[in-house]
Amino acid sequence: MLDPNTNRKDVPVEFTWNLADIFPSDDAWYNENEALKAMPERISAYQGRLGESADTLYDALKLEDEISCRLEPLFGYASCSLDVDQSSAKYQDMRGKAMSTAVAISSAAAFFTPEIMEITDEALEKFYAEKPELSEYRRALYQIRRKKAHILSPAEERLLASAREMAGSPDRIGSIFRNADLKFPSVADKDGNLHTLTAGSYGPLMESDDRVLRKNAFEGMYSRVGEFKNTAATILDSQMKQLKFFAEARGYGSTLEASLDDTEVPTEVYLNLIDAVHANLPKLHRYVALRKKLLGVDELHMYDIYTPIVKSADNKISFEEAKSTVIEALSVLGEDYIELLKTGFDNRWIDVYENAGKRSGAYSSGSSRPHPYVLLNHKDTLDSMFTLAHEMGHALHSYHSTKYQPVSTADYVIFVAEVASTVNEVLLNRYLLSKTTDKAERAYLINHFLDSFKGTVYRQTQFAEFELMMGRMCENGEALTADALNEKYLALNKLYYGDSIVSDEPIACEWARIPHFFYNYYVFQYATGYSAAVAIANRILTEGESAVRDYKKFLSGGSSTDPISLLRIAGVDMSTPEPVNSALSYFEELIEEMEKLS
C-alpha cells in the first residue's frame, strides 16, 4: 500500500490505469478534440430533414452514434487523467475543452428531438417498413417520443442545451472543493502518534479499533468541513436551483419526477422505498443496540458506527490477495466472466492506490470504449476487497452492454446501475461465509455484511430522503442555508439510528461532504439495487446455470427495454415490494445469528 501523499509521478506504473488504450498521448487527444469541432456543421446538414425519408433519418442517427463513440473516449481520457491528479491545471483545461466540444455538438443537435417528435406514428412505421435497418433505433426513438409533453421548440431546446455547461458548475465546483482544496489536520491516536487525515483515509481511520483515533478523525473531519458549511450549502443550493430550472422548463411537477423520468422509474418507487425503510427502522435500531453491547461502551457515538466489532478485523488483505479471492468468489458466474475479470486485472484497467491530489472514493468509468476503467483507493482492508468486487461488477456490466447492444441502447440506466456491482458483493460475502464455521470469523464476516447493508440500504435511503427534503425546500422557495440543512440532517440522523447512539452534533454537517447529492436523485438506487442483487445472488447460488444465463442476459441488456422489465429477465420483480422486504428480512436474520454468536 502506498503512502497517500505520494506524488502521482512516483506511483509505480503497475498500479496505474493505462490510458494509452484510449489515446496514445495528450497530443492525440487534442487532435481528436479539434476534429470533433467539425461535427456541428455535419449535424446541421440534417436540420429540417429528419422526417423527409427513412434513409435520411437513419443516416442522421448513424452520425449521432459516431459522435457518441468518439465523445465517450474524449471525456474518458480527460476525466480519468484529472481524477488521479485534481490539482492539474492541464487536465482541468482538457476536461473543460471536452465539455465545450460536447456542448457545441449538443447545441447543434438540438433540433433532433423536436423534429423526431413531429414525425407521425404512421410515417415512422412506414420508415421502419421501408428500411428495416432503422429498427435498430426503435427503442431509442420510443424513448424520445414518449416524452412529447416535455419537449420544447427547437429554439428553446437549443437554449437549454447551451445552458447545460453552466448547469454543471455546482458539481464541478463541489468536486474541486472537496478533493483538491479541502485539507484536513493530522489526527492523533491513543499513543499520540499522528495519522494523515484525507477524504480517502477517513473510512479506514473510522474502522480502527483505537477509539481515540476514531474520535479525533471524526472531529477533525467535521470541524474542518463545518468551517466551510456556508460554502457547501451555497453550492448545493445552486445545484437544486438548476434542477428546478430544468424541471420547470420541461413542465415536470417536481425535480424528482424530472430526474426519474429519464429512466422510466415512477416516483412511487422512490417514495415507497422511504416508506418501507421507515417501517423497518426498528431493525436498524436493533443492530445499533447490538453494536453498543458488543463494543462494551456506556455511550455509542457516531464515530463508533464503522469499526468492526471482532478482533480479526485487523487482518490485512493485500491487493493481490483481494484479486485472487474475488476471482474465486465469482467463479459461479462462469469461465467467460472470470476470463474477462482477469483481463481487467492483467491489463491495467484499474488505478489502485491513493496518491496526492487523487479523487477520493471509487468508481467504474462506465465507458467501455475501448474498455471500462476503475478507480480505487485501495487500503488493504476487507472493505477494499469488497470495493474491488463492487467496481468490477460495474465495469463488466458496462462491458457486456457495450458488446451486445447497438450504440443507441448500450448505456444502461441508473436504476439498474448498482445491481451488478452488488451481486458481486453478495456473492463474495456468501463465498467467505461458506469457507468457515469458526464463530469468530463468521461473526467478523456477518458484521461486515451488516455494516455494508446498513450503509447501502439504510444510509443511502437516509441520503435519498434528505435529497428529497432539499428538492422540496427549493421548490417551495426556501433557501438551502447551512443552518437549515444542519437542523434537518441531524433530526434525520436521530430518526434513523435511534436512541441507542448519540447523534453527535458534528454529524449535522455530514451532508456537506457527500458528492452523491450532485447526481440528481441517484442514491435511492443503491438501496433498490442492493435489494434486487440479494434476490439475484440467491437465485444464482440455488438454481445455478439457468440463473447465471438469465443474469448474463440482464448484463447484456443495456437499455433495450425499461429497467423493471430488465430485472424481470434476471428473475426479480421490482414493481412489487417483495425484494426490498426480503432484503430487510435477511438483514434481520443475520442480526439474529450475530446475537447468537456473541
- As beta bridge partners, residue 350 has 374
pLDDT at 314: 59
Whether the CB-CB separation of 108 and 43 falls below 8 Å is answered with yes
The domains of the chain are located at: 8-167, 234-314+413-598
With a cut of 50, list the residues of the chain below it in pLDDT.
none
Q: Maximum distance among all alpha carbons in the chain?
A: 78
Query: Could you please report the per-residue DSSP string of 3-43?
Result: -TT--GGGS-GGGS--GGGT-SSHHHHHHHHHHHTTHHHHH
The pTM of the full predicted model, rounded to 2 decimals, is 0.80
Nearest-angstrom CA–CA distance, 114 and 160: 13
In this structure, the chain runs to a length of: 598
Task: Name the pairing type of β-strands 501-502 and 300-301.
Answer: parallel
Nearest-angstrom CA–CA distance, 272 and 280: 12
Tell me the per-residue pLDDT of 565-591, one tens digit each, with 9 for 90 and over: 999 999 998 878 788 888 898 899 999
What value does the mean pLDDT of the chain take?
94
First to last CA, the chain: 33
Nearest-angstrom CA–CA distance, 102 and 104: 5
pLDDT at 573: 87
438 burial class (0-12, 13-18, 19+ CB within 10 angstroms)? Answer: exposed
pLDDT at 577: 79
Query: Could you please report the per-residue DSSP string of 501-562?
Result: EE--GGGGGGGGG-GGGGSSS-THHHHHHHHHHHHHHHHHHHHTHHHHHHHHHHHT-TTSS-
pLDDT at 439: 85
Measuring CA to CA, which residue among 441, 461, 142 is closest to residue 277?
461
The packing angle between helices 154-167 and 89-108, to 10°, is: 170
Q: Say whether 391 is catalytic.
A: yes
Please, what CATH class does the domain formed by 234-314+413-598 belong to? mainly alpha
pLDDT at 164: 86
pLDDT at 312: 63
pLDDT at 348: 97
CATH 1.20.140.70 matches 8-167: yes
Tell me the per-residue pLDDT of 15-41, one tens digit each, with 9 for 90 and over: 999 999 999 999 999 999 999 999 999
**SS3 call for 187:** strand
Catalytic residue, chosen from 64, 136, 354, 391, is 391
Cis peptide before 515 (omega within 30 of 0): no
